[in-house]
Amino acid sequence: MLTLFQKKSAEHEVTQQPSGSQVDARALIQSLQKEASGLGREAAEVRGVIEDTIQTSSRQTEALASLAEQARGIQQAQATIGSVTEQSRGSVGKARQAVEDVGREVGGIVDTLREVAEAAREITRIAMQTRLVAFNASVEAKRAGEAGRGFGVVADAVKDLAAKVEASSKQIMGTVGDLDARVGALAREIRSDTTSGAQASAFHKALAEVEAGVDSIMRAAAESRHASDGMNQQMAVIEAEARQATQALQTALQRSESFLRVSEHLMEAIAACGIETEDSPYIAAAQEAAAQISQLLENAVRTGMLTLADLFDEQYRPIPGTNPQQHTTRFVEMSDRLFPQVQERMLAFSPKVVYCIAVDRNGYVPTHNRRYCQPQRPGDVVWNTANSRYRRIFNDRTGLASARNRKPFLLQTYRRDMGGGRHVLMKEVSAPIVVEGRHWGAIRLAYQF
């Protein structure tokens, strides 16, 4: 298949044979073209490496920021621990004081119980005396005979009552004695400490262990807080250095952009000088494809297949459940019918051709080459990125430059993202697609070096 460019080139060679100086100039230009192409390849590779490094640096900066935030959270938690443990230590001291106060109150209870016991003993003594008096009164009443019978009954009742009082008093004394022993032991348990030279009680030992534990926590928190302070300072330094590195990489990326543009402009100038180079057939093929797509679109508008408003639709509606995100517009059905006849034919133009697609001026690809129009696989982003490239918007540097190019052609060098961290270095030539005087987009024809 001869392209328009190849036909014209053949006619030109038949009608005019080059002179020796023309041959030298052609050889020089072709050599320059190869050098420019190699320069563009290296520039694109360097730019791609810088872009990858910037992405890695950005992720590292974000990770450092997250770590710094977590470190600050740890520091705040440690400060809280220190404050709470300090309060806990004070609470232990208050508990000890409160227990000692209780011990004193318990001591007062012991004294009171002893007073109760003394009173019970006094009651017992009185009851015994009462019993003795009642016994004597009963004896005298019996001697008095019938005249003392009533008095004897009273005396017997008093004796019985005194016996009951004595028994109750002795029971009280016994109970009070038990309470006195128990409460006294409790008082000694609570109030005993090491300051008096006596062995500390279990309760005070427990309090001492709690205090020691709280002190240990306070020391550990202080040491950890000190270490966190140092870590935060180091994190701040690392963050600042990471930001500086990212800024330096951004500057390098801008410089590489200028470097890449110089190489691309040089390749364009060489390609436009009229002498055939290795890029010339691809430039002519892209221009021919752009002219054919333009004609197909104009015919579609003229015959009513779609309106200009439909063709220039920029309401990209997301297709649910797609990753990478795909979109649809009002002209996709038309592009599916018309574009493959041109795009697929261009794939057969050369084995070096990777793809040939028509895009609108925003980089939207309504219909890709058939091999890249595979339905997406749910959850398989890497496969989708490489094989489901239709209905997607490619608004990166190369994509937008090609889509919005209005010059006869634009020659670029770039790395194509194939997903999963895999890239392919290639050249791309684009030619504008114009419909009824309006710039719709471009043909993007990519080929390998």
User: pLDDT (tens digit, 9 = 90+) per residue, 168-192?
Assistant: 777 777 777 777 777 777 666 666 5
Q: How confident is the model at residue 199 (pLDDT cuts 50, 70, 90)?
A: low
The pTM for the full model equals 0.54
Relative orientation angle of helices 4-15 and 280-302, to the nearest 10 degrees: 130
State pLDDT tens for residues 264-298. Answer: 666 666 666 667 778 889 999 999 999 999 999 99
* pLDDT score recorded for residue 47: 65
- Residue 115 to residue 378: CA distance in whole angstroms: 90
Architecture of domain 279-448: 2-Layer Sandwich (3.30)
- Asked if residue 194 has pLDDT above 50, the reply is no
Question: Which one is predicted more confidently, 120 or 342?
Answer: 342
State pLDDT tens for residues 308-339. Answer: 999 999 999 999 999 999 999 999 999 999 99
Cβ atoms of 58 and 242 closer than 8 Å: no
- Asked if residue 15 has pLDDT above 90, the reply is no
* pLDDT score recorded for residue 197: 46
* pLDDT score recorded for residue 282: 94
Question: Which one is predicted more confidently, 169 or 410?
Answer: 410
Closest CA to 249 of 65, 422, 52, 64: 52
Q: How confident is the model at residue 9 (pLDDT cuts 50, 70, 90)?
A: very low
State pLDDT tens for residues 19-40. Answer: 555 556 666 555 665 655 565 5
* pLDDT score recorded for residue 6: 45
Considering 273-277, 373-377, 445-449, the range whose residues carry the highest mean pLDDT is: 373-377
- Residue 64 to residue 55: CA distance in whole angstroms: 14
- Residue 114 to residue 121: CA distance in whole angstroms: 10
- Residue 363 to residue 396: CA distance in whole angstroms: 8
Cβ atoms of 224 and 80 closer than 8 Å: no
Cβ atoms of 117 and 177 closer than 8 Å: yes
Q: How confident is the model at residue 87 (pLDDT cuts 50, 70, 90)?
A: confident
- Looking at CATH, the fold of the domain delimited by 72-225 is given as Helix Hairpins (1.10.287)
Q: Is 106 exposed, middle or buried (0-12, 13-18, 19+ CB in 10 A)?
A: buried
Percentage with pLDDT > 70 across the chain: 61
Q: What is the mean pLDDT of residues 353-358?
A: 96
Q: What are the domain boundaries of the chain?
A: 72-225, 279-448
* pLDDT score recorded for residue 203: 65
Relative orientation angle of helices 202-271 and 149-191, to the nearest 10 degrees: 40
Rounded alpha-carbon distances, angstroms, from residue 375 to 155, 256, 382, 416: 120, 36, 13, 20
